[in-house]
Amino acid sequence: MSRISQCFANAAAKNRAVLGVFVTAGDPDEATSAGLLDSLVENGADFIELGMPFSDPMADGPAIQAASLRAIKAGMTLQKTLDMAAAFRARHPDTPLILMGYFNPIYIYGQQAFITAALAAGVDGLIIVDLPPEEDEELCDTASAAGLSFIRLVTPTTLGSRLPVVVKKAGGFVYYVAIAGITGTKSAATDSIRSAFKRLREETDLPAVAGFGIRSADQAAEVAGIADGVVVGSALVQKIEDAVASDKRAELIQEVGTFCASLSAAMQRS
């Protein structure tokens, strides 16, 4: 069983939803970023979405764009992100690691070289925001054949007749974008998530998580009652931004760990 499937199976056995967390690789700097990953895993994160920094992230809000720019400024590249992934895998053999980002840095790195390096680093899946099914031959087809799960974003605009197209080659799990919009802007509404998941379950047997617009432990607990997993990103990234702004990097790892633990507790269904 793949690490991703195992992760969902383990949670289901304990009547828990899976907690996924997003941070940008190298934000605010390489060492702190690696420390954050460890802290997240130690405090109950079930899988990690590691953002590959890109200068122009068009589906992300100000918090995650700022995180990308901080990381790029601190010298982060795709190669260093892959190195960071490999180091993470050595420390955490069982936690699924998903790389999330935009296509251009991968295109410049070379698709085949990227797939090879990602597999060697122990990466489990990819979320490439600007590669819809219409562009599957760019990366999805070869990455999936090589054994990387190509995780699809499903949005409120794609729940209709387009849904079968979107989930057709989906791997790992399906990621439901709970708001019409970019990361970190609005709050997700539980009712619309409930009806969206009803529709999703008709179309795919893959586990399905919800993300975008989930900012607190209370909100995460509500969504955990509906989805197989919950992803929190911008709320974490905002804590990094605040820590950098107030020059409190030393306390950051502890603070993020505490927040993650509260989210993890919220994954337990009653």
**Active site members:** 49, 60
> Which helix (H) or strand (E) is 262 found in, with range?
helix 249-265
Q: Which of 96, 170, 98 shows the shortest CA–CA distance to 132?
A: 170
Given the complex with another protein, which of 11 and 82 has the nearer CB atom? 82
CB of 79 to another protein, least distance (A): 8
Based on the shown chain and the rule CB under 8 A, indicate whether residue 166 belongs to the binding site for another protein: yes
Q: How far apart are CA 27 and CA 34, in angstroms?
A: 9
Given the complex with another protein, which of 134 and 202 has the nearer CB atom? 134
Based on the shown chain and the rule CB under 8 A, indicate whether residue 111 belongs to the binding site for another protein: no
Based on the shown chain and the rule CB under 8 A, indicate whether residue 141 belongs to the binding site for another protein: no
232 φ/ψ angles, rounded to the nearest 5 degrees:
-120, 130
Query: Sign of torsion, CA 126 130 135 139?
Result: negative
- Of 19, 177, 236, 267, the one binding another protein (CB under 8 A) is 177
- Of 25, 48, 85, 182, the one binding another protein (CB under 8 A) is 182
Amino acid at 264: S
DSSP letters, 25-66, are TTSS-HHHHHHHHHHHHHTT--EEEEE---S--TTS-HHHHH
Task: Map tokens 């379950």 to a residue.
Answer: 201
43 φ/ψ angles, rounded to the nearest 5 degrees:
-105, 25
CB of 106 to another protein, least distance (A): 8
- From the list 37-45, 149-157, 235-243, 244-252, the region that binds another protein by CB under 8 A is 149-157
Based on the shown chain and the rule CB under 8 A, indicate whether residue 136 belongs to the binding site for another protein: no
Based on the shown chain and the rule CB under 8 A, indicate whether residue 117 belongs to the binding site for another protein: no
Burial of residue 108 (CB within 10 Å: 0-12, 13-18, 19+) is exposed
Based on the shown chain and the rule CB under 8 A, indicate whether residue 180 belongs to the binding site for another protein: yes
Q: Which residues lie below 8 Å from residue 162, measured CB to CB, with a gap of 6+?
A: none
Amino acid at 149: S
- From the list 1-9, 87-95, 130-138, 218-226, the region that binds another protein by CB under 8 A is 130-138
Given the complex with another protein, which of 45 and 170 has the nearer CB atom? 170
Based on the shown chain and the rule CB under 8 A, indicate whether residue 59 belongs to the binding site for another protein: yes
- Of 29, 62, 194, 261, the one binding another protein (CB under 8 A) is 62
For residues 58 and 130, is the Cβ–Cβ distance under 8 A?
yes
Based on the shown chain and the rule CB under 8 A, indicate whether residue 129 belongs to the binding site for another protein: yes
CB of 111 to another protein, least distance (A): 12
Given the complex with another protein, which of 93 and 160 has the nearer CB atom? 160
- CA neighbours within 13 Å on the CB side: how many for 69? 10
- From the list 24-32, 75-83, 201-209, 218-226, the region that binds another protein by CB under 8 A is 75-83
- Residue ranges binding another protein (CB under 8 A): 53-59, 61-62, 65-66, 69, 72, 77-79, 102-109, 129-132, 134-135, 152-158, 160, 162, 166, 177, 180-182, 185-186
